[in-house]
Amino acid sequence: MPTYAKFLKELLTNKRKFEDLSTVELNEECSAIFQNKMPTKLKDPRSFTIPCLIGNLNVEKALADLGASINLMSYKMFKQLGLGEPKPTKMSIQLADRSIKYPRGIIEDVLVKVDKFIFHVDFSVLHMDKDVEVPLILGHPFLATARAVIDVGDGKLVLRVGEVKTELNPNKPVSRQAEYEGIKTNKKLKHKPPIEEPPKLELEQLPNHLEYAYLGNNSTLPVIIASNLQPKEKEELLQVLRQHKRAIAWKISDIKGISPSFCTHKILMKDEYKPCVQAQRRLNLNMKEVVKAEVIKLLDAGIIYPITDSSWVRPVQVVPKKGGMTVVTNEKNELIPTRIVIGWRVCIDYRKLNDATRKHHFPSPFIDQMLERLSWHIYYCFLDGLSGYFQIPIALEDQEKMTFTCPYGTFAYHRMPFGLCNAPATFQCCMIAIFDELVKDIMEVFTDDFSVFEQVIRRCVTRSETSKILEHYHSGLTGGHYSGTKTAHKILESGFYWPSLFKNANRYVTSCDKCQRTGNLSKRDEMPQNCMLSCEIFYVWGIDFIGPFPSSFGNNYILVAVDYMSKWVEAQALPTNDARVVVRFLKTLFSRFGTPRAIINDRGTHFCNTQFEKTLKKYEVNHKTATHTILKLVDKLKWQTERSTDY
């Protein structure tokens, strides 16, 4: 016990009293306590995690570990990077709990960006738990390369490259602007309403029955109207639209959206599903510009947001929008019909996610009943559901499943996009809830995924057009005078419909002059008749030798006979393959199965000889020889027919 402890104890129990001029000597430890020179006791500063960027993958927490002798990466992160297969290794890793793990392989010279520095790093790829918080460990090799200096007290990590250094603070939030250098937005810019500042829109070519009209000055704020309107009708329509032009969304960001409390799209997964992370696809420069414009548009509208990690990742696909056919001259001055590409469409493949999603069995209306209610109306219109899809919010716990990757980062959807399983049912539920009082009175709601549903029914035709359509598809150049049902199906495939389509098609076929000239003859009766050839069992035999084989009990060959009708096989082992043993075998065969009508064999000398021919002539059996290839069925039936005429 320290010597000053007894002095303090006696002083506190009043056994010793201070004198005015007494001197007490204290040792070094006691003096440090009284003078408050001891360092302040701090809590655990936790581990040092720093943000880094590998390719397009942003890692917010990469552990800087002085106790690790290697750089370690989780196998899940390796799959997200899409670097192929790791280099095999026989390395074994001993963890802190003294357990032994074997990595999947090694990847070398991976570019890791930390702040403003880029380093070449070798990683060992190891399977980790799915919910691991730190998927990346930067050990001694990385810290030595970066000349790292860790100040545990201040919580700072200093990296040096040459004379340049950077300072990282793990406890301070780091800006993620570097991840999206290709997408820059001006946050200070306040967007004006489209009524005050009309946007620049790319107008596509319209069919002949439609045309563009403009609600603003200088050909701005376009709308699509019918081209056959009278000038007075057109002016009255535009006047109404100008009064309510603030209700029209000219950009996708102008639509406020639907409240999550009213309608939310949920993705319910099957019991045993496996998350899928797909690698990014390579895009050319033109496709990258299309993807960049689409991402900026969706970011401005608040439909997508950046995300760092997800168990469901899929790439962006860019497919061309093709227009009509045109004739183009090639280098040889030849006219080549070519389909012109009028634009590009950004798509995301959700097939693997849809396979793992439980189907929502929403009672969709029957298409024939809906068309029955729509038929014979003078006016009707279709509403575009494009903006409606992007306005239904996705449940917060399911937004991570909507992740996609592109050259400008990894993003997830706030709102329901195209191509999702159960998306049509969700949209239809929402529309029915909104227009509950109007459904089946003046409105029909029927939706399908627009990636597969497009112009299935172009229009419901009037009664005056039905006869012309039936004549074209039944008696025209592409008709073919088919039955009523097939003619009706051809009309449906072309996009036309009216309620009595099948009835009118059958009536038109029965009144067709060319169809009725065939009388009651069906197609089966019109075909030429073939003779029915009969063949009894054991009527035709095929015979041949197999061998020579190694001698077994003095036998070197096998003589095989097969019945062509029943496929019955008779075989006998023989010492030689001459005509004498063949004749003896045939007599035994005839005595057991009766005399056949024909025997077929190849052109071997043991079959094509005088002794064999005399035996067959004696029993009135036809001898037919085949080529060295496989016998054709036509030849067999021909020989059988020739034999049948003899009886």
The residues, ordered by sequence, that sit 6+ positions from 140 with a Cβ below 8 Å of its Cβ are: 66, 68, 69, 70
Share of the chain above pLDDT 70, in %: 71
Amino acid (1-letter code) at residue 548: P
| CATH code of 411's domain | 3.10.10.10
Q: What is the pLDDT of residues 499-536, one digit of tens each?
A: 788 888 888 888 888 777 766 665 555 544 444 455 67
Residue in 602, 597, 607 with CA at minimum distance from that of residue 639:
597
Q: How far is CA 239 from CA 50, 212, 232, 385, 499, in A?
A: 61, 15, 11, 25, 37
pLDDT at 15: 60
| Choice among 137-146, 489-498, 558-567 with the minimum mean pLDDT | 489-498
The pLDDT of residue 178: 45
Domain check: are 290 and 425 in the same one? yes
With a cut of 80, say whether residue 119 has pLDDT above it: yes
Shared-domain flag, residues 215 and 140: no
The residue that leads in pLDDT, 130 or 341, is 341
Of the three residues 219, 248, 277, the one that is the final residue of a domain is 248
Q: In the predicted model, what is the mean pLDDT of the chain?
A: 76
- Band of residue 303 on the pLDDT scale cut at 50, 70, 90: confident
User: What does the pLDDT read at residue 181?
Assistant: 47
Compute the distance between CA of residue 171 and CA of residue 151 in angstroms, rounded to an integer.
Answer: 13
Q: How many domains does the chain have?
A: 5
Q: What is the pLDDT of residue 451?
A: 37
Residue-wise pLDDT tens digits, 586-613: 888 888 888 888 888 887 888 888 888 8
Q: Which amino acid is at 488?
A: A
Q: Can you tell me the mean pLDDT for 22-38?
A: 67
pLDDT tens string 387-444 = 556 778 888 888 888 899 988 889 998 888 877 888 878 877 777 777 766 665 666 6
Residue 166 and residue 240 share a domain: no
How high is the pLDDT of residue 24?
Answer: 65
Q: Is residue 623 part of a domain?
A: yes
pLDDT band at 16 (very low <50, low <70, confident <90, very high): low
User: Residue 27 falls within a domain, yes or no?
Assistant: no
| Residue 3 placed within a domain | no
Task: Please say whether the beta carbons of 384 and 390 come within 8 A.
Answer: no
pLDDT value at residue 418: 77
Does a structural domain hold residue 424?
Answer: yes
Average pLDDT over residues 53-61: 81
Residues 505 and 487 sit within 8 Å (Cβ to Cβ): yes
- Once rounded to an integer, what is the mean pLDDT over residues 274-280? 85
Residue 228 lies in domain: 210-248
Kindly indicate the confidence band of residue 631, based on its pLDDT and cuts at 50, 70 and 90: very low
Q: Tell me, what's the pLDDT at 641? A: 47
User: Mean pLDDT across the stretch 473-484?
Assistant: 79
Instruction: Inform me whether the pLDDT recorded for 487 exceeds 70.
Output: yes
Asked if the model's pLDDT at residue 227 lies above 70, the reply is yes
Same domain, 326 and 425: yes
Specify the CATH number for the domain of residue 160: 2.40.70.10
292 and 407 inside one domain = yes
Q: Over range 298-304, report the average pLDDT.
A: 84
The pLDDT assigned to 379 comes to 62
Mean pLDDT of 103-124: 86
Assigned domain for 9 exists: no
Q: What is the H or E stretch that residue 506 is in?
A: helix 501-510
If asked whether residues 417 and 547 sit together in one domain, one would say no
User: pLDDT value at position 455?
Assistant: 40
Q: Is residue 68 part of a domain?
A: yes
To the nearest whole percent, how much of the chain has pLDDT over 90? 0
* Highest mean pLDDT pick, 27-31, 484-488, 516-520: 484-488
Give the CA distances from residue 26 to residues 15, 32, 160, 345, in Å, rounded to whole numbers and listed in that order: 19, 10, 47, 84
Do both 583 and 609 map to the same domain? yes
User: Does residue 421 sit in the same domain as residue 307?
Assistant: yes
Is 256 domain-assigned?
no
- How far apart CA 53 and CA 59 sit, in angstroms, is 6
Q: Quick one: 299 and 426 in the same domain?
A: yes
Confidence of residue 10 (pLDDT cuts 50, 70, 90): confident
Q: pLDDT at position 180, please?
A: 45
Does residue 159 form part of some domain? Answer: yes
* 279, pLDDT greater than 60: yes
Residue of higher predicted confidence among 386 and 629: 386
298 and 422 part of one domain: yes
503 and 383 inside one domain: no
Asked if the model's pLDDT at residue 282 lies above 50, the reply is yes
Q: From CA 110, how far away is CA 122, in angstroms rounded?
A: 6
- Residue 20, pLDDT > 70, answer no
pLDDT at residue 188 greater than cutoff 60: no
pLDDT of residue 622: 84
* Cα distance from N-terminal residue to C-terminal residue, the chain: 133
pLDDT at 457: 44
Q: Are strands 117-126 and 72-74 parallel, antiparallel or unpaired?
A: parallel
Q: Regarding predicted confidence, which is higher, 144 or 390? A: 144
**Better pLDDT: 378 or 151:** 151
Instruction: Indicate whether 227 and 297 sit together in one domain.
Output: no
Average pLDDT on 143-149 reads 84
DSSP tag of 461: P
254 vs 479, higher pLDDT: 479
